[in-house]
Amino acid sequence: MVRPPNVAADGLAEYRLRSNENCALTCFRWLAQGPEPVPYCKSDLGKVWICATVVFGIEDADGNFAELTHETRLPAQASVSFQARDEGASEIGVRFWSYAKGQEVYVWNGIAK
């Protein structure tokens, strides 16, 4: 579950992802970076965007952007902090791999403003 943010003076919001389960969670982080998950924001209109403070990706010849992410495991009962620029968002989310569904899923949490 993503907890409500602590907002810093520079406009960055700090969140904490915590596994309340008795098993590890598989979420996505930036390739070759730390354990922090890639944060996504969603507006009231349903628009979704990456709201990380730093984005790692590549652009192909047609101008299509591909984020460079990799699976990471958050151990049971563990937590990790991450920062996001959540201006204009009504929800903050993290992308997970659902073994039950065999696909990626987003878990969203409302942002208290």
Q: Is 70 among the domain residues?
A: yes
Q: Is 44 among the domain residues?
A: yes
Domain span at 93: 6-110
Q: Is 17 among the domain residues?
A: yes
pTM: predicted TM-score of the whole model, two decimal places:
0.81
Mean pLDDT for each consecutive 10-residue tract of the chain (113 residues)? 56 85 86 90 94 87 86 90 91 89 90 74
Q: Is 1 among the domain residues?
A: no
C-alpha angle 10-16-20 in degrees, rounded to nearest 5: 170
**What's the pLDDT tens digit per position in 8-32?**
556 688 899 988 878 888 889 988 8
In this prediction, residue 91 carries a pLDDT of 94
C-alpha angle 17-108-30 in degrees, rounded to nearest 5: 55
